[in-house]
Copies of this chain bind each other. A is one copy, B any other.
Amino acid sequence: MAKPIIQMENIEKHFGNIIALAGVSFDVVPGECHCLLGDNGAGKSTFIKTMSGVHKPTKGTITLDGKPMHFDSPRDAMEAGIATVFQDLAMIPLMSVTRNFFMGREPTKGRGPFKRMDIKTANDICVESMRAMGINLRGPDQAVGTLSGGERQTVAIARAVHFGAKVLILDEPTSALGVRQTSNVLATIDRVRKQGVGVVFITHNVRHSMAVGDRFTVLNRGKTLGTAERGRITAEELQDMMAGGQELASLEGSLGGTV
């Protein structure tokens, strides 16, 4: 296997008296899609937030391209080539779609004191990226606050994909998406993976994860239950692990195994 781009070792994270992560290790190699799975509240979002510089780990080390790293801010992580779709999307409702899309990394033209935002380019890229995901925007200056849930999520994904240089982290990216948009996102993951980007994909949908995942790590109550490679684990086994091993049979039965 290739050398990991990013390697997280024994990460712990405490919030006041709450232990959200109790020692998690994880790595991503170029060109793979590493799925992070687990029950609600298992600590997935907290974990990828430490990976993208939002939280500082209480304990543990992060190694990027073989060198130990300290991210002081998400900006540091971004400059190291890590792009993230957060579960809460990190969008500003009052700002337009384009401005949200390029927030923090605006394209410019002109130079010196006349360096200014290249709004036309920005609008074009934004509309184009959204169309590629299956959403036709009414206009790039619509406020994000007036978009539907799925439209908003698509903006966040398109943005991360556009700026994802080495690692692309997606925290439940398809939760609010329609059928067509979901297919597009999965296809996109497939495409960027083939370009050599390492993808971290969080989802509750076993089918989605089986469709694109190369490796599967399951978190449970702040700890790793283990990592499996594609082909070594079945969808049913994965599902059992994700649910924390609880009895699903009875429920499943009554609903016809549809979950």
Contacts and interface: CB of A to CB of B under 8 A. Distances in A.
A256 B211 contact: yes
Contacts of A198: none
Contact of A175 (B175, B179, B207, B243): B175
Contacts of A239: 179
Interface string A37-60: 011111001000000000000000
A150 B88 CA distance: 12
A73 interface: no
B243 A180 contact: yes
A154 B175 CA distance: 15
A204 B179 contact: yes
A64 interface: no
A230 to B, nearest CB: 12
B40 A255 contact: no
A100 B206 CA distance: 31
A9 B210 CA distance: 42
Interface of A: 15, 18, 38-42, 45, 87-88, 134-135, 138, 146-151, 154, 172, 175-184, 186-187, 190, 204-208, 210-212, 239, 242-244, 246, 248, 251-252, 254-256, 258-259
